[in-house]
Amino acid sequence: MKPKYLSLIGDPPKGFATGVFGKRELLSGVVVLLAADCESAYALLPDFRTRVEGVVLTLGEPAMECVGPLLWHVSLPRESLDGEGVLLEVVRTVISMASGFRNEATVAKLGQERLASEQAQRSDDYQRVTNALQGQVALLAASENKLQTILDSVDACIYLKDPQFRYVFANRATRDLLRRRADEIIGFCDTDFFDETSAAHIRRNDALVLQKGKTIVDEESNTVRNTGKTITYRSTKLPLFGEDGRIYALCGISTDISALKEREAHLKHIAHYDVLTMLPNRVLLADRLHQAMVQSRRRHRLLAVVYLDLDGFKAINDRHGHGVGDQLLVALSARMKQTLRDSDTLARLGGDEFIAVLLDLSDRADSVPMITRLLAAAAQPVQIDDLVLNASASLGVTFYPQADDVDADQLLRQADQAMYQAKLAGKNRYHFFDAEKDRSARGMHESLEHIRQALERRQFVLHYQPKVNMRTGEIIGVEALVRWQHTERGVLPPGAFLPVIENHPLAIRLGEWVIEEVLNQMEAWQACGLRLPVSINVGARQLLQPSFSAHLHDSLWRHREIRPEQVEIEILETSALEDLVQVSKVIEGCKAIGVRFSLDDFGTGYSSLSYLKRLPVDQLKIDRSFVSDMLDDPDDLTILDGVLSLATAFGRQVIAEGVETEEHGSMLLRLGCELAQGYGIARPMPAGEIESWIRQWRPNATWRTIAPVPREWLPLLYAVAEHRSWNKALDDHMAEGGAGLPQIHQKCRFEAWWHSAGSQVLVEQRASLAEAEALHRRIHHLMRLCAVQDEREGVEGVEDARKELRIAVDEFIARILHALDASSEGKDTRR
Amino acid sequence: MRAVSASTVINDPYRAGVALGESLTEIDPEVVFLFSSIHYAVPDVLEGLHDGLDRDNVIVVGNTGDGCFGAGGVSDFGAAALGLNSHGKVQWRLERIDGLQDGVDGKLERLMERLAEKDKEPCWAYLVSDFRVDVSRIETTLRDRSRFPIVGGLAMDDRRGANCFVYVNREVINDALVVLAAYGDLGFSIVLGNSQRPVGRPGTIEAATINQIHRIDGISASDFVERETGKPVLQTDRGILSVRVVGPESPGEERLRSIMFKEAVNSGSLSFFGGVNAGDSVQVCQASQEIMIAELQALAEALRSSNRVPAGVLVISCTGRKSFLGALIDNEVAALRTAFPPGLPLAGFASRGEIAPRQTTSGYTHNLFHNMTYVAVMFWQ
């Protein structure tokens, strides 16, 4: 803005403008207003003096006065104004500067006022904020107190540590643990409170938290209280992060788990130890036994497992009560434990049963002293109150390792079995387990299961062996024989499996199946026009079932087409003798419905004649063992003859088993036995082959002609057998390199007969035997020669004589048999 | 378009006006935007401005604010003016409504209708209102009724909240709303900056009334802010903590809302400087000087990169930004000064709420009411 020189008076000095002056002229910049007097100037604007910046100039003596903030009244002579006006210019300049200063001052003042106002506002704000903060702080303090109260009320130790491992907070539990006040903890480290080792352990995990940011869970540490008790703490430690992501503290929570640890130990103890005797229990025993077995194998040493059962304990318990029984157990346990080494284990299974595991034995004998001591300890009297109790123990012992692989359970079973044997043997003793016996028992156990499965899977079949009259050729029936069509072993005969189930309920199941199957088959044959009696083997167990008769009756009722007389039950002589009375009853019961009975394997039992009388059987079956050897065993022949006589005497029918050759059949016929079965007649065959076999079978032609030998000629049969036996014995001597020559009696059976009953025979009959007699003499000569040659030259020297002897014997036998057959012609000598 | 600006701290309003007017005469302006601190709000400043311009045929519009923005910087005290001369290419029209407490939305609607008379709609307008008005109504009316960019704010004093004035030609008025509309070929660009750092997770306003939020995501507004920030709303958060709101159907029209700390509501509701609506998404934000300054530079660079020749720039910035940035507020002018050749004419004021649309790829959004926002209108030659 330009300074203005304005004049209110006419004829102003040079440079002054005249006119009407308003705001624009008066307020825009510094003004020098020439007026007659100040009032006339002031009148131009209402607030002239305060707003105009400049000078009100009047003419007169030099004078100057301040009339406004930036307004001066200057009086100057007119003459001084006509010049350059330097003075006024100076004044104007000064006023301009002052105006500027005043502006600046005003701005500054306004700025200061604003600042003060803002400061005041900020003070207000500050106060409000402070009040709010104080409120918040109060709240926080209250919250912190609350938190502190809560943290102090918990039993866990809660603490904070800074990155330098110094405590910055410790709750009451922590203070109690460290036995310090808060000010004695805050700022200090664990090295100030714990021993070096414990502090180092704590510091390791703290470092992981504070330096690596890890969270440690389940850190366990121990500390020893001043009482000497060790306290176990479980701690969780976690890092605390600030807003900048840095770790600023560690927060730890430690809980006293001593009680928990004690409970754990107690539970562990209970889990592994017997509460009464404090001996190891089954669980711990299993572990120790396993370890012992491993060690035993590694060191190649034996270990013994001893099963110990107190004798008479039950009686003591029953008589004196469980309290006394328990005390006895405790006392005996302690004594027995003392007899063992530290490395051995004595465990209680329960009740009065214990197991001892003896390690590091060089052999079985090594265990005997310890076992003996155990026995002695168990047998010592025990005083409980005013009672003196006596017990003893039965011990079963097994060893490991064994030939077969066994595990711990098997060892215990073995020892248990052996202990049982000790009990059976009289108690208060020990018994070693027999592995071999166990193997066969196990084999049997396995077989039972297989047999049961076979029954369920219908693997059993019946084969039938024909029974015939050798003389007439009549087929008198068949015997049902069970076979097992084993999936791996093929067709198994009864001997391979029946003994296994002999005393087992399976025998009954199988037997019932056989009966049912036979009756079904008989029905099938009948449908084809074949009425064939069938004999069924029934074992003692089945026969002696109370329901056997009823069951058989029921089966026959269901198969009503079958006549009971067609059914024959074969029972073993030995079975019958088990319970003669019951067997007789069963037989009677079955015979009442028409069923026949046969006594099988007759001659093998120890039945007396009275037993035979009491058994109401219809038929006797002579055991094959007598038949098979009768040709060359005069004793068997004799027995056979005796059996036949007995059977005849008691009116029982007789059938011989084991007829393997024509000769066997011939001999039986000569003895008067016509009925037979055996491989020489027919092998057992499936039911489907019976019909075709019956159609094609013809008896041996010779058999039809052989008649029973008269009784007086029977010794010749014995002689035949006798001479055959000599031949056989000589052959055995030759084959076995000198087994022993048969002893030839001077008077053999032929010799005896020849000179006794033989002398009473008809002359023509005797004449037919003359050649036989000559041969006989030669036979004896050759036998003597053999003996001499054998003695002189050994077996090789006998060869020639033997050949001659054989020829002679065969010729002799042929002549005798011829004579025998001739002697029975036309005579009814059947039995 | 030609522009010139001047600023003064001459404390005498008339003298200041004369100084401003004399400075603007060089371009013979068609319109003059006059902004001043409250101290100048007397008719003398306008008389002086006119006397300085030595013309009466000039439209003067402006208002008091929390200080003023000039080409040299930002001051708490003084006056600044920006004169524009479009050489007749732009036609200017001044409209006003008085009595803002009574049906302001209706009055504003009619004003908008007047502006669009004869089927000719302004291309741009400047709007200033007395701060003592329900801005939510202004915002709603502007949003619904205006289809051209409007930039402006609320006249205020030096943050005392006691008084304010609007300049209209030779009058100094209040309880009024004034709009200067431009018609014709006015080249301009509006940039807007209010970036803040989001805090926590956004929520949805469940209950709100005018400028109060009652419930967000099932909890009170206070609890929501406390939950997301980790601490209660405190006085110290004034100017620092805001919320960014956006309606579900207009995702590009985000606005910041500052919390009215002096009007704490015990029920947990929070009051804001501006309208809020139920259903809007709300995100708590925290002011950051670094983010604000970086944004100013980016905005200036964006204007510069348009490769157009600037005439002058009008700046309306929130008084809250002035308070938060403190001495750094000068960056709101310096950024433009740095981006453009020296002598860029500039005038503006610190407002108590800003009106401006957001720039889109195809133009501008609805006119929105903002807090804590910097608005610059660059007039191109």
CB contact under 8 A, B9 and A114: no
Residues of B in contact with A133 (CB under 8 A): 234
Residue in A with minimal Cα distance to B159: A118
Q: How far is B372 from chain A (nearest CA, A)?
A: 19
State the amino acid at position A455 in one-letter form.
L
Does residue A693 surpass a pLDDT of 90? yes
Instruction: Give the chain A residue nearest B233 (alpha carbons).
Output: A132
Nearest-CA distance A97 → chain B (Å): 13
Residue type, B236: T
Higher pLDDT, A238 or A732: A238
Beta bridge partners of B34: B62, B81
Task: Quickly state the pLDDT bin for A161 (edges 50, 70, 90).
Answer: very high
Strand partners, A398: A305
Predicted confidence band at A564 (pLDDT cuts at 50, 70, 90)? Answer: very high
Contact residues on chain A for B7, CB-CB shorter than 8 A:
none
Angle at A737 (CA atoms; ends A733, A741), nearest 5 degrees: 30
Residue A125's pLDDT is: 67
At A347 the pLDDT is: 96
Tell me which residue in B11, B15, B158 faces A27 most closely, judged by beta carbons: B15
Instruction: Report residue A446's pLDDT band, with 50, 70 and 90 as the boundaries.
Output: low
Q: Does A109 touch chain B (CB under 8 A)?
A: no
What average pLDDT does the segment A803-826 reach?
82
- Mutation target among B45, B51, B75, B199 for the A interface, most CBs of A within 10 A: B51
Give me the residue from A103, A125, A128 closest to B9, CB to CB: A103
Which of B22, B47, B235 lies closest to A129 in CB terms?
B235
Closest chain A residue to B50 measured between Cα atoms? A24
- Enumerate the β-bridge partners of residue A656: A622, A676
Does residue A125 sit at the B interface (CB-CB below 8 Å)?
yes
> Are B283 and B198 a contacting pair, CB within 8 Å?
yes
Confidence of residue A556 (pLDDT cuts 50, 70, 90): very high
Q: Which residue has the higher pLDDT, A132 or A552?
A: A552
Chain-chain contact of B236 with A23 (C-beta, under 8 angstroms) = no
A1 touches chain B (CB under 8 A): yes
Q: Are A221 and A252 in contact (CB under 8 A)?
A: no
**Is A24 an interface residue toward B (CB < 8 Å)?**
yes
Residue A689 has pLDDT above 80, yes or no: yes
pLDDT tens for residues A8-55? 998 888 788 888 888 888 887 888 899 998 999 999 988 899 888 888
| Radius of gyration over every alpha carbon of chain A, rounded to an integer in angstroms | 66
Q: How far is A125 from chain B (nearest CA, A)?
A: 7
Give the model confidence (pLDDT) of A752-811 as tens digits: 777 777 777 666 667 777 788 888 888 888 888 888 887 777 777 778 888 888 888 888
Q: Poorest-confidence range of A362-371, A399-408, A736-745?
A: A736-745
Distance to chain A for B309, nearest Cα, Å: 31
> A24 and B18: CB-CB below 8 Å?
yes
For range A68-90, the mean pLDDT: 77
CA distance readout (Å), B66 to A100, B38, B355: 23, 8, 16
Residue A74 Cα, gap to closest chain B Cα (Å)? 23
DSSP A741: P
CB A253 within 8 A of CB A173: no
Q: Is the pLDDT of residue A336 over 60?
A: yes
Measured in angstroms, the CA of A234 and the nearest CA of chain B are apart by: 33
- Is it the case that residue A337 has pLDDT exceeding 80? yes
* A606 has pLDDT over 60: no
pLDDT at site A438: 65
| Separation between Cα atoms, residue B24 and residue A582, nearest integer Å | 149
Write the CA distances from A149 to A136, A175, A179, A704, integer angstroms. 19, 14, 19, 123
> Which of A522, A830, A479 shows the shortest CA–CA distance to A678?
A479
Q: What is the value of pTM for the model shown?
A: 0.49
Contact B48 A111 (CB under 8 A): no
Q: Are B51 and A24 in contact (CB < 8 Å)?
A: yes
Say what the pLDDT of residue A113 is: 77
Strands (E) across A433-583 are located at 460-469, 475-486, 490-492, 534-537, 567-572
Cβ contact A23–B47 (<8 Å): yes
pLDDT band at A445 (very low <50, low <70, confident <90, very high): low
Q: In this structure, what token pair is assigned to residue A40?
A: 């006339």
Q: What is the pLDDT of residue B24?
A: 95
Calculate how close chain B gets to A113, using CA atoms only, in Å: 11
Strand-pair category, A167-170 with A157-161: antiparallel
Asked if residue A405 has pLDDT above 90, the reply is: no
CB contact (8 A) between residue B77 and residue A103: no
SS3 assignment for chain B: CEEEEEEECCCCHHHHHHHHHHHHHHHCCCEEEEEECHHHCCHHHHHHHHHHHCCCCCEEEEEECCCEEECCEEECCCEEEEEEECCCCEEEEEEEEECCCCCHHHHHHHHHHHHCHHHCCCCEEEEEEECCCCHHHHHHHHHHHCCCCEEEEEECCCCCCCCCCEEECCEEECCEEEEEEEEECCCEEEEEECCCEEEEEEEEEEEEECCEEEEECCEEHHHHHHHHHCCCCCHHHCCCEEEEEECCCCCCCCEEEEECHHHCCCCCCEEECCCCCCCCEEEEEECCHHHHHHHHHHHHHHHHCCCCCEEEEEEEEEHHHHHHHHHHHHHHHHHHHHHCCCCCCEEEEEECCEEECCECCCCECCCEEECCCEEEEEEEC
Closest CA to A430 of A449, A447, A415: A415
pLDDT at B376: 96
Q: Contact B11/A125, CB-based, under 8 Å?
A: no
Residue A326 has a CB neighbour count (10 Å cut-off) of: 14
Q: Do residue A136 and residue B51 have CB atoms under 8 angstroms apart?
A: no
> How much is the pLDDT for A577?
64
Q: What is the pLDDT of residue B61?
A: 97
pLDDT of residue A741: 66
> Which pLDDT value is given to residue A394?
92
Q: Count other Cβ atoms within 10 Å, centred on residue A653.
A: 16
pLDDT at B34: 97
Which one-letter DSSP state was computed for residue A197? H
The verdict on A105 touching B (C-beta cutoff 8 Å) is no
Amino acid sitting at position A418:
A
CA distance B19 to chain A (A): 7
Neighbours of A179 (CB within 10 A): 11
More confident residue, A462 or A69: A462
Contacts with A136 from chain B: Cβ below 8 Å: 232, 234
The pLDDT-based confidence of A825 (bands split at 50, 70, 90) is: low
Cα B135 to Cα B143: distance, rounded to the nearest angstrom: 12
H/E run at residue A688: helix A687-696
Distance (Å, rounded) from C-alpha A611 to C-alpha A602? 12
Interface predicted TM-score (ipTM) of this complex, two decimals: 0.75
What is the pairing mode between strands B281-286 and B241-246?
A: antiparallel
**Is the CB of A181 inside 8 Å of chain B's CB atoms?**
no
Q: Quick check: A108 contacting B, CB < 8 Å?
A: no
Q: Which residue of A has its CA nearest to B235?
A: A129
β-strands A302-311, A353-361: how paired? antiparallel
Report the distance separating Cα A590 and Cα A568, nearest Å.
10
Q: Is A110 on the interface with B (CB under 8 A)?
A: yes
pLDDT attached to residue A439: 62
CA B303 – CA B214 distance, rounded (Å): 40
- A793 and chain B in contact, CB less than 8 A: no
Task: Kindly state whether A384 is in contact with chain B, defined as any CB-CB distance less than 8 angstroms.
Answer: no
Task: Determine the Cα–Cα distance for residues A28 and A1; give it in Å rounded to an integer.
Answer: 6
- Confidence at residue A609, expressed as pLDDT on a 0 to 100 scale: 66
Measured distance CA(A171)–CA(B244) in Å, rounded: 44
Question: Does the CB of A118 have a partner CB in chain B at under 8 Å?
Answer: yes
**Closest alpha carbon to A476 in A358, A566, A536, A549:** A566
Q: How far is B4 from chain A (nearest CA, A)?
A: 18
- Position A831 scores a pLDDT of 46
Residue to mutate among A21, A27, A112, with most B CBs inside 10 A, is A27
Contacts of A111 in chain B (CB under 8 A): 76-77
Interface test with A, best of B10, B157, B229, B259 (most A CBs within 10 A): B10
CB A399 within 8 A of CB A303: yes
Q: What is the token pair recorded at B46? A: 């306008």
Nearest CA in chain B to A30: B15
A297-300 LR contacts (CB < 8 Å, sep 24+): A297/A401, A299/A360
Could you tell me which residues of chain B have a Cβ less than 8 Å from any Cβ in chain A? 9-12, 14-15, 18-19, 22, 37, 39, 44, 47-48, 51-52, 76-78, 158-160, 232, 234-236, 238
State pLDDT tens for residues A108-145.
777 777 777 777 766 776 776 677 667 777 777 787 78
- Smallest CA-to-CA distance from B372 within B264, B285, B261 is with B285
Report strand pairing: B188-193 vs A685-686.
unpaired
Q: Which residues of chain B have pLDDT under 50?
A: none
- Alpha-carbon torsion (A12, A14, A18, A22), positive or negative: negative
Task: Tell me if chain B has a CB within 8 Å of the CB of A119.
Answer: no
Interface contact B236-A129, CB threshold 8 A:
yes
Question: Is B235 in contact with A128 (Cβ distance < 8 A)?
Answer: yes
pLDDT band at A633 (very low <50, low <70, confident <90, very high): confident
Both tokens assigned to B133: 């008005």
* CA A426/CA A396 separation, integer angstroms: 13
**What are the tens digits of pLDDT across the range A217-267?**
877 877 776 677 888 888 899 999 988 889 999 999 998 888 888 888 878
CA distance A128 to A121: 10
Residues in chain B: 381
Band of residue A440 on the pLDDT scale cut at 50, 70, 90: low
Interchain contact, A110 vs B77, CB within 8 Å? yes
Q: Do A102 and B160 touch (CB under 8 A)?
A: no
Hey, are the CB atoms on B18 and A129 less than 8 Å from each other?
Answer: no
Can you give the pLDDT at residue B37? 94
> What mean pLDDT value characterizes chain A?
85
| B10: chain A residues, CB-CB within 8 Å | 103
Q: Looking at chain B, which residue has its C-alpha nearest residue A124?
A: B235
DSSP assignment letter at A736: T
